[in-house]
Amino acid sequence: MNIFKKIALSTAIVAAFATVSAPAFAAEEHADKNAIVRVAADATKAKIEEAVSLADKGDKTAFIAAVSDARQLQKEFRYEQTERLRQKLNSQLLAAREAATAGNMTEAAATTKSALEYVKEMREIYDAAHK
């Protein structure tokens, strides 16, 4: 009878843990990784396009802010086949920011435009693999 009580008690404890832990795991967010990458790609492209237009206007402060935002956004664009392009994009954005800081907005605009090409190429590779 003692063994029966121990078995019943351990079964009740296991059932209680299972009841409590199942909703906890179900409530955990399961983010769609592809959606995160697509949003990051679109946001990065939009910020770089904004930076290009700001460079053409000559607004140095806003340009630097837009390029910094684009550098942060591109970090979420994680896809193995485009990783090298993402690194080149980051280098281009850094060079554009440094050129703008030095006061050379013409070079900053040209570098930002080439960075935009990297984003487009990355998105094409990503979209081709995720049809």
Q: What is the pTM of this model?
A: 0.72
pLDDT at 22 over 60: no
Residue 41: exposure state from Cβ atoms within 10 A (0-12, 13-18, ≥19): buried
Q: Is residue 65 within 8 Å of 108, Cβ to Cβ?
A: no
- pLDDT for the residue numbered 109: 93
Residue among 74, 78, 76 at smallest CA distance from 93: 74
Please give the CATH architecture assigned to the domain spanning 33-129: Up-down Bundle (1.20)
pLDDT (tens digit per residue) in 64-105? 999 999 999 998 888 888 899 999 999 999 999 999 999 999
Region for residue 23 given its phi and psi (left: phi exceeds 0; alpha: psi -120 to 50; beta: otherwise): alpha
